Copies of this chain bind each other. A is one copy, B any other.
Amino acid sequence: MQISSRFSVAVHTLLCVVVFKESYKVTSEFIAGSVGTNPVIIRKIMGQLKKAGLIEVMAGTGGTNHLKKPEDISLLDIYRAVDLFEDDQLFGFHDQPNPDCPVGKNIHTVLNHHMVEAQQTLEQKLSNVTLANILEALPK
């Protein structure tokens, strides 16, 4: 299955915070209007970004700040904040291979190694792109 759109929404959310925080009070409703979804969805994602130390949210009064500079926030940071799988494994694996079969007995060890490597290259690619890079590429 596809990677959830939470990731793109989270990036969108952070972009809104960085771009608009000087001019507007960036509330969940404000962001939801830009993303095209429900404020509660945004609040949940803001909660994950907050837990990851990427933003702070003003309880009561409302509004959001980013806690790191855009050049210090990578896409991987955002991805990890909102898309956590079981055991951090991007690839799913069938969990009942037959231990009495020479193939079933060893496939997990052998195949998993390649899956982990593939996942790592993907994550490294994401870690090389920062929010600042995205901002530069956004037409003003």
Q: Give me the interface of A with B, judged by CB distance under 8 Å.
A: 1-5, 7-9, 11-12, 15-16, 19-20, 33-37, 75, 85-86, 89-98, 101-104, 106-107, 110-111, 113-115, 117-119, 121-122, 124-126, 129, 134, 137-140
Contacts and interface: CB of A to CB of B under 8 A. Distances in A.
**What is the count of identical protomers in the complex?**
2
A8 B92 contact: yes
Going nearest first, the 4 A-B pairs with the smallest beta carbon separation are A36-B96, A5-B92, A2-B92, A118-B125
Nearest to A13: B103
Contact of A2 (B15, B91, B114, B138): B91
Given A2-B85, A97-B35, A101-B34, A8 B121 contact: no
